[in-house]
A and B are shown apart, each in its own frame.
Chain A
Amino acid sequence: MKNDNEKYSALGEVGDFQQKRTRWARIRLDLAKSPLTARFGLLVILIYGFVALFAPFIAPYGEAEVFPIPYAPWSSEFVFGTDQIGRDIFSRLIYGARNTVGIAVATTALAFIIGGILGLAAAIARGWLDQLLSRTVDVLMAIPSLIFALVLLSIFGSTVTNLIIIIAVLDSTRVFRLTRAVSINVVVMDYVEAARLRGEGLIWIMRREILPNIMPPLIAEFGLRFCFVFLTIAALSFLGVGIQPPTADWGSMVRENASLIQFAQYDIKAGLTPLLPASAIALLTVAVNFVVDWFLHKTSGIRDEE
């Protein structure tokens, strides 16, 4: 603001408006202010995404290409050696980014579509629909999801489609609770009422009035849910009831190569091999957690008192 009265001109003040920043400019500004952990997290996520997209071009060998030497040591030919039936571990790690992360992303997205739509519907409709959905979710959440997933997998069998659907349904309960809780506060707002009186349809109100206002907690939840889903799928695959061979997957790779650990005294590289896929899982979850932490901090507006 200009306080200098003599030089005041209406035209000047009007012309002095601030350029509204474009979305891209705002993202760049936020990034510049982000803490080191968040930048590290973003970098890791980008690298994983790149590797997953271009896996066939980066990997030196095929996903299920078998060589005659099982348990080959680390060498220039096989960077991290070969596994129990002679597949190149480095290539399988790269393809694993595509399979394991891809399946986890698909599952989380499906969980959000189911849980988000039902949560919004429950918050808008209330009444018996809300009661029915909420009580169903209560029961589903009363059983630990890994146990529930094991029961369902034993009935339907372990295929990738079943895995995605089962985990997504079980996980959508938590999305439902969050969506319902945050949108109940938004639904009673006057502008939603106005839209309703204007004659807008249910879908329009959901998408244009409510969704933009509940986005930040949902985005943060997406990150956290992704970590949870990712770890659950990795655990199931590790247990041998998740993603099935010959698909390269980090969880089952850990189990397949676990016996190498006992040779760590003679060859530390062999001992480290089973830890490679496990640390690939851990690194991504740490990275996502860092980014979510930063995002929550930024959108909630909480400032730590120093």
Chain B
Amino acid sequence: MHPVLKTILERIALGVATLFVVSLVIFSAIELLPGDFSQVILGQAATQANMAAISKELGLDQPPHLRYIQWIAGAVQGDLGTSFSGRNASGVDRSREVVDLIAPRLSNTLFLASMTAIIAVPISLILGVTSALYRNSIYDRSVNTATLTTISFPEFFVAYILILTLSSLWPIFPSLANVDADTVLSERIYKSALPALTLTLVIVAHMMRMTRAAIINLLASPYIQMARLSGASQSEVIIKHALPNAWAPIATVIAFNLAYLVVGVVVVEVVFVYPGVGQLMVDAVSTRDIPVVQGCALIFAITYILLNLLADIIGIITNPRLLHPK
């Protein structure tokens, strides 16, 4: 087998194994709940019969490994169980399917994340590469100081500064990003402008610094020195010699930061009341609605692991040393 294919298959197997363990961890959330939580769901006035019914519905009368298999089989088929909220002591069940809660919000979150990525990736690559090329210049130093400062800021600080300036003092963009399924694209972009801008500012700083470090590392390698000494021009060195080796670190940086976006999106969604998965998860955590928390956590974890896996694979494919085995 080609060594590249072998390495990639190994990585995918490792990713699947990680996903399995992660799903185990998320599943065991319900195991760790203290006490008899059918009462927690239904309230103090719950009757014995209703509590028994809930336990049966959640499958608490079965051993954990059977329940895990049922849960994961359901999750693969798009069934993440039923939310805890909406139930009450009298046995009336107004609860909703977790999938129905997550699905519309997931598309919103993906929209916000891709909008941010489209803005942030080109900007940070350009900033990172140029500041690496003009290292220690005033340009490099000012970009560096600015990004170091933005990294130190909590996301909500950046968000509120933007709201204060661009929404309150000079009302250009709305501070509430209340989009729904019927919002047309142009209005959707307009309403999501501030959340996307916040995420961009946070993520550009990270991405730019990592790109800069990767390029500087590359330019310091002996073969670049060799190319310079052999009389190649600056642009030739960059395009012909440096770039083929730079794709791997750059792809890794992008995928890593898109994975970081998954986390950043939670806080930003709450600030701008953007109806996404992150806000749903935070609400579910404060009401301790475990099935919803599990569903959201599973989605976030899968996205995070897949993006990191993608970064690994791109890194392997674009590595010239692996493509030409000895």
Q: In the complex the two chains form, is A154's CB within 8 Å of B293's CB? A: yes
- Name the one of B169, B259, B263 contacting A265, with C-beta atoms under 8 angstroms: B169
B232 to chain A, nearest CB (A): 21
Question: Are the C-beta atoms of B157 and A275 separated by less than 8 Å?
Answer: yes
- Selected A-B contacts with CB under 8 Å, 12 pairs: A142-B18, A142-B304, A145-B263, A147-B304, A150-B285, A151-B29, A151-B285, A238-B267, A264-B169, A265-B168, A271-B169, A286-B153
* 15 extra A-B contacts, CB within 8 A, seeds A238-B270, A241-B285, A264-B168: A142-B305, A154-B29, A154-B284, A154-B288, A155-B288, A238-B154, A239-B266, A239-B285, A261-B175, A265-B168, A265-B169, A278-B154, A278-B157, A278-B160, A289-B152
Instruction: Give a binary string over B22-33; 1 marks a CB under 8 Å from any A CB, 0 the rest.
Output: 100110010011
Is there a chain B Cβ closer than 8 Å to A164's Cβ? no
Contact of B175 with A146 in the complex, beta carbons under 8 Å: no
Stretch at the interface among B3-11, B62-70, B88-96, B294-302: B294-302
Kindly list chain B residues whose C-beta atoms are within 8 Å of the C-beta of A144: 259-260, 262-263, 300-301, 304
CB pair A282–B153 under 8 Å, yes or no, is yes
Residue among A154, A239, A293, A306 making CB contact with B270, cutoff 8 Å = A239
What band does the interface of chain A fall in when counting residues whose beta carbon is under 8 Å from B?
35 or more
A contact residues around B270 at 8 Å (CB): 238-239
Interface membership of A231, Cβ < 8 A: yes
A235–B156 touching, CB < 8 Å: yes
Whether the Cβ atoms of B151 and A289 lie closer than 8 Å is yes
How would residues 128 to 158 of chain A score, 1 for a CB under 8 Å from any chain B CB and 0 otherwise? 0000000000110011111110110111110
Question: Are B22 and A139 in contact, with the CB atoms below 8 A?
Answer: yes
CA separation between A161 and B297, bound complex, in Å? Answer: 23
A20, chain B: closest CB distance, angstroms: 36
B204 to chain A, nearest CB (A): 17
Interface residues of A in 247-305 (CB under 8 A from B): 251, 254-255, 258, 261-265, 268, 271-272, 274-275, 278-279, 281-282, 285-286, 289, 293, 304-305
Tell me which residues from 39 to 94 in chain B have a Cβ below 8 Å from any Cβ of chain A. none
Shortest distance from the beta carbon of B40 to any chain A beta carbon, whole Å: 11
Q: How far is the CB of A221 from chain B (nearest CB, A)?
A: 16
Q: In whole angstroms, what is the CA distance A238 to B278 when docked?
A: 14
Most chain B beta carbons < 10 A, residue from A155, A251, A271: A155
Bound-state Cα–Cα, A145 to B293, Å: 14
Main secondary structure of the interface of A (DSSP, over half): helix
A49 partner residues in chain B, CB cutoff 8 A:
none
Among residues of B, the one whose C-beta sits closest to the C-beta of A279 is: B157
Q: How distant is the Cα of A153 from the Cα of B153 in the complex, in angstroms?
A: 24
**CB of B179 closer than 8 Å to a CB of A:** no
Residues on the A chain within 8 Å of B286, using CB: 240-241
**A231 vs B163: C-alpha distance when bound (angstroms):** 20
Known: A239-B267, A254-B156. A143 touches B284 (CB 8 A): no
A242 to B288, CA, bound (A): 14
Residue pair B300, A147 in contact (C-beta under 8 Å): yes
**With A155-B32, A240-B282 given, is the CB distance from A258 to B160 under 8 Å?**
yes
Contacts of A151 in B (CB 8 A): 26, 29, 285, 293-294, 297
A254 in complex: contacting residue of B148, B151, B160, B263, CB < 8 Å = B160
Would you call B243 an interface residue if the criterion is a C-beta within 8 Å of the partner chain's C-beta atoms? no
B149-196 contacts to A, CB under 8 A, are: 149, 151-157, 160-161, 163-164, 168-169, 175
Give bound CA distance, A143 to B161, whole Å: 30
Residues of A within 8 A of B282 (CB): 150, 239-241
B246-266 contacts to A, CB under 8 A, are 259-260, 262-263, 266
B26 touches A281 (CB 8 A): no
Query: Judging by beta carbons under 8 Å apart, are B262 and A150 in contact?
Result: no
Please give the distance in Å from B61's CB to the nearest CB on chain A. 21
